[in-house]
């Protein structure tokens, strides 16, 4: 696996190192030792999947607060997404900053999201399916969110938003949100 640091400390793009032959390829998605070498979470307790039927669907920005804050690894199994993370760590030099990556079923890139970040994405294709690994169990009383269309964040979503949940449209802005203290 190749780990490429993103501009927000602790976040990485992870690319597969494929061993290819006439049959196709073999690659690792996870290696305890390689995650350890990069100082990343090595303990995963839950895996989830999402399917978004429409191009332009917006999901997020979601996170969990301590003591149930979670790291995530996200991979696109089918389709394509424009993936965004926002640093919500109170003491971070990049608090309130965001970065993005296109993740799809062709590049097979994964995104490592550390604790203290909000995560969301917009689908670039119909029937896009994601796989998530989570370092913490889902805890409804610790879930949080950030308005993905917040003017202060100024995230430039690549497509018109065709589908978004009522819950996500009602999330607080960065100004209304209490920063995450880890």
pLDDT digits (tens, 9 = 90+) for 111-166: 999 999 999 999 999 999 999 999 999 999 999 999 999 999 999 999 999 999 99
- Is residue 75 situated within a structural domain? yes
User: Counting Cβ atoms within 10 Å, is residue 114 exposed (0-12), middle (13-18) or buried (19+)?
Assistant: buried
**Catalytic residue check, 43:** no
* Residue 2 within any structural domain of the chain: no
Residue 76 in domain: yes
pLDDT value at residue 102: 98
Q: How far apart are CA 17 and CA 26, in angstroms?
A: 8
Classify 157 as helix, strand or coil: coil
Identify the residue with better confidence: 42 or 58. 58
Residues of the domain holding 133: 43-169
Confidence of residue 86 (pLDDT cuts 50, 70, 90): very high
Annotated active-site residue in 12, 112, 132, 134: 132
Q: Residue 132, SS3?
A: strand
Residue 62 falls in the annotated catalytic set:
yes
What's the total number of domains in the chain?
Answer: 1
**Arithmetic mean of pLDDT, 47-61:** 97
**Residue 110, both tokens:** 């994964």
Per-residue pLDDT tens over the stretch 8-40: 999 999 999 989 899 988 988 899 999 999 999
Confirm whether 21 is domain-assigned.
Answer: no
Residue 49's domain is classified under what CATH number? 2.60.120.10
Instruction: Please check whether residue 37 lies inside any domain of the structure.
Output: no
Within a domain: 8: no
> Could you tell me the CA-to-CA distances from 113 to 74, 95, 103, 133 in Å, in that order?
8, 14, 14, 10
* Residue at 13 is within a domain: no
Q: What is the pLDDT of residue 182?
A: 84
Of residues 62, 112, 119, 134, which has the active-site annotation?
Answer: 62
Q: Put the strands of the sheet holding 117-123 in their side by side order.
A: 98-104, 80-87, 117-123, 58-64, 143-145
Residue 20 domain-assigned (yes or no): no
Task: Provide the whole-model pTM.
Answer: 0.94
């Amino acid at each position: 696996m190749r780990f490429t640091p993103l501009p927000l400390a602790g976040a990485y793009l992870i690319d597969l190192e494929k061993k290819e032959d006439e049959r196709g390829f073999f690659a690792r998605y996870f290696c305890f030792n390689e995650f350890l070498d990069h100082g990343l979470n090595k303990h995963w307790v839950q895996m989830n999947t999402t399917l978004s039927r429409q191009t332009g669907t917006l999901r997020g920005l979601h996170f969990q607060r301590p003591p149930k804050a979670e790291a995530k690894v996200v991979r696109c199994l089918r389709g394509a997404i424009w993936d965004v993370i926002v640093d919500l760590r109170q003491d971070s030099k990049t608090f309130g900053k965001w970065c993005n990556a296109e993740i799809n079923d062709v590049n097979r890139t994964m995104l490592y999201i550390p604790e203290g970040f909000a995560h969301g994405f917009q689908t670039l294709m119909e029937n896009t399916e994601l796989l998530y690994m989570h370092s913490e169990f889902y805890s409804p009383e610790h879930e949080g969110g950030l308005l993905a269309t917040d003017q202060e964040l100024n995230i430039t979503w690549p497509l018109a938003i065709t589908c978004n949940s009522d819950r996500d449209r009602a999330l607080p802005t960065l100004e209304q949100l209490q920063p995450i203290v880890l």
